[in-house]
Amino acid sequence: MAMARAVYSKLMRAVGEGRFVFTGEVEPLKTADAEGIVRAAERLRDWTVACNVTDNPRARAYMSSVAASHIMQSRTGVEAVCQMTVRDRNRIALQSDILGAAALGIRNVLTMSGDHTTFGDNPQAMPVYDIDTAHFVRMVRLMVDEGCDLAGNRVAGEVGLHVGITGNPNAEPLEMEIMKIEKKVELGAEFMQTQATFDIERAKEFLREMGRLEIPVILGIFPCRSYATAEYLRSSVPGITVPDEFMEQMKRADAAQDRSRQREKIDDVNIEFFSSMIKELRKTERLAGMHVMTIGYERIVKALAEKV
Amino acid sequence: MIITRQKPQEKIDEMVAPYGRVFIVGCGTCATGCGTGGEEQVKAMAQRLGSRAIGWAVVESPCDARINRRDLAARKGELEGADAVLCMACGAGAQAVAEYADKAIIPALDTLFIGKTERLGRYFERCRACADCILLETGGVCPTVRCSKGLINGPCGGQVKGKCEVGDYKNDCAWVLIFNSLKRQNRLDAFRKYRPPKDRSAKARPQELASR
């Protein structure tokens, strides 16, 4: 079971102290220019304990998450949760990137399978999947705790970072999802960030199950900066159910004539929905914080953080 | 069975074009089963090639060097007179025929996978020849081949209601099949088990086997 581990990151310190945290998200794109990441991180800085840096989401070949994490940290002071998928790298490259990330001062790594290559902008690519995310968690634990790699070769000096996993409260069957998570917790995963959910009852059920496991859960939410975004989520993102009432309210807010009024109303709908969700969940369940999928809607984090 | 598919005819015509005299070899086993290299398809190919086709044979299993020698010995003259051999078998068959004939080999089929036959013309990939079978632990469903990511410790986040993100949620998520199978058999401890990374060195190419 969980032993007392060293704390390397602000995220894990805050979570360990029982502070309710917000994490945000920035997305490197197909460019060698990091200005966009830096600007997004600056908008999130005061309201998040750390920000995820995505790793070629939807299998699109973008700037490396390790490089972007380092740039974000050094230029804005925002701590990175560096996302790393097993889709594009075999175990040699993953171990190499973990060493590189640790050397660059990256303190949190989020292990992911990664959207399949066939979705991407280079669908002809070979999907790697040499190891899976359970192996990835084990690999990081070996490097951090045992000073060796997956094959048992010695790693010189300390590797100081935390390993996180993803979870999906919307998954069916939920029992299977819980068992999969349990396996990774036993392997030494230290924190979890989840897929976005709008379903409070399902989130409660998920958190209740997670309560048995020794892992802080940062629950994913997806505030919508426009009715179109909500509509896209509802119709095009399988597995996420957006409540009709939320859709209705977004539609009404979207209908406002003047642009700044529209913006304000949309913010209100999001703040109302998600702050009551957070309050409701925190009443009964153990919840370490919220992961706000913020791409392009950074201002909502401040509003939510102030409200809860 | 080794599942094969005939290349587009234009592609075959293009490969055949430089050769005036072509001998055709079919396969009496898998490619016959698939309807891609049996007698019927070999004859149709001979007809299409017209006077270029100087002869044909359906070898019982062209992937077997001994059977090639046995079945093709009587056709030695025709083979020697050919500029190229067009082979309607899998890649293993085509290479064995190439070795025997020592002529330009024209592969008329593409080899797809080791599969299960549902009916003639409908096949499903079921084995990746990973050299480390774990079917007992996975309820008789192979995650190496049926999970689009080949994950061996459980599903990814890409399954929705038991369907896989790859293929637009039409295919079953292998891990949901595995979970349900193990649950029915009251063996969910096998789902919980941590399976270490596969030893890929066992699959370093080219593999060979000398078992006796």
> Per residue in A113-160, pLDDT tens?
999 999 999 999 999 999 999 999 999 999 999 999 999 999 999 999
CB contact under 8 A, A132 and B161: no
Tens-digit pLDDT profile for residues A3-27: 578 999 999 999 999 999 999 999 9
The answer as to whether A171 is a domain residue is yes
Q: How far is B64 from chain A (nearest CA, A)?
A: 31
User: Which residues between 36 and 55 in chain A have a beta carbon less than 8 angstroms from any beta carbon of chain B?
Assistant: none
CB contact under 8 A, B191 and A176: yes
Tens-digit pLDDT profile for residues A250-278: 999 999 889 999 999 999 999 999 999 99
For B149, which of A91, A127, A176 is closest by C-beta distance?
A127
A chain contacts of residue B155, beta-carbon cutoff 8 Å: 176-177, 180
Residue A1, pLDDT above cutoff 80? no
Q: Do residues B22 and B6 lie in contact, with contact meaning Cβ atoms separated by under 8 Å? A: no
Contacts of B188 (CB under 8 A, 6+ apart): A179, B179, B182
CB contact under 8 A, A172 and B162: yes
The answer as to whether A96 is a domain residue is yes
Instruction: Sketch out chain B's domains with CATH numbers.
Output: 2-112 (3.40.50.1970), 129-197 (no CATH)
Q: Does A151 touch chain B (CB under 8 A)?
A: no
User: Which residues between 235 and 264 in chain A have a beta carbon less than 8 angstroms from any beta carbon of chain B?
Assistant: 238-239
The answer as to whether A1 is a domain residue is no
CB contact under 8 A, A183 and B192: yes
The answer as to whether A56 is a domain residue is yes
B55-84: average pLDDT: 97
Q: Does A202 touch chain B (CB under 8 A)?
A: no
What is the H or E stretch that residue A134 is in? Answer: helix A133-141
CB contact under 8 A, B155 and A138: no
Tokens 């590189």 found at: A100
Residue A280, pLDDT above cutoff 60? yes
Residue B114, pLDDT above cutoff 50? yes
pLDDT value at position B110?
98
A chain contacts of residue B156, beta-carbon cutoff 8 Å: 113, 133
What is the rounded average pLDDT for all residues in chain A?
A: 96
pLDDT value at position A3?
58
pLDDT value at position A214?
86
The answer as to whether A113 is a domain residue is yes
For A183, which of B148, B175, B194 is closest by C-beta distance?
B194
Burial of A136 (0-12, 13-18, 19+ CB in 10 A): buried
The boundaries of the domain holding residue A186 are 10-307
How many CB atoms neighbour CB B117 within 10 A?
Answer: 14
Tens-digit pLDDT profile for residues A196-233: 999 999 999 999 999 999 899 999 999 999 999 999 99
Beta bridge partners, B109, equal B6
* Strands of the sheet with B122-127, listed across from one edge: B2-6, B109-119, B122-127
CB contact under 8 A, A168 and B176: no
The answer as to whether A297 is a domain residue is yes
Alpha helices in A188-226 (DSSP H): 200-210
Q: Which residues of A158-191 are buried (b: 16+ CB within 10 A; e: fewer)?
A: ebbbbbbbbbbbbbeeeebbbbbbbbbbbbbbbb
Distance CA A283, CA A305 (A): 17
Total domains in chain A come to: 1
A173-193: average pLDDT: 98
Question: Both ends of chain B: CA-CA distance in Å?
Answer: 24
Distance CA A168, CA A192 (A): 10
| ipTM value | 0.94
CATH number at residue A16: 3.20.20.220
Beta bridge partners, A290, equal A22, A219
Distance CA A247, CA A257 (A): 18
Q: How far is B2 from chain A (nearest CA, A)?
A: 22
B chain contacts of residue A137, beta-carbon cutoff 8 Å: none
The answer as to whether A4 is a domain residue is no
Phi, psi of B156 (to 5 degrees): -95, -170
Q: How far is B164 from chain A (nearest CA, A)?
A: 10
The beta strand positions in chain B, using DSSP E, are: 2-6, 22-27, 53-59, 84-88, 104-107, 109-119, 122-127, 159-160, 163-164
DSSP letter at A142 equals I
How many CB atoms neighbour CB B183 within 10 A?
Answer: 15
Q: How far is A124 from chain B (nearest CA, A)?
A: 14
Q: Which residues of A36-50 are buried (b: 16+ CB within 10 A; e: fewer)?
A: ebbebbebbbebbbb
Among A132, A178, A182, the strongest candidate for a mutation testing the B interface, having the largest count of B CBs within 10 A, is A132
B111-133: average pLDDT: 97
Closest CA to A282 of A196, A194, A233, A218: A218
pLDDT value at position A159?
98
The answer as to whether A64 is a domain residue is yes
CB contact under 8 A, A116 and B162: no
CB contact under 8 A, B149 and A166: no
Angle among Cα B16, B20, B21 to the nearest 5 degrees reads: 95
Closest CA to A290 of A235, A189, A222: A222
Q: Does A173 touch chain B (CB under 8 A)?
A: yes
Question: Both ends of chain A: CA-CA distance in Å?
Answer: 32
Closest CA to B178 of B201, B149, B155: B155
Helix B39-49 and helix B9-16, axial crossing angle in degrees, nearest 10: 60
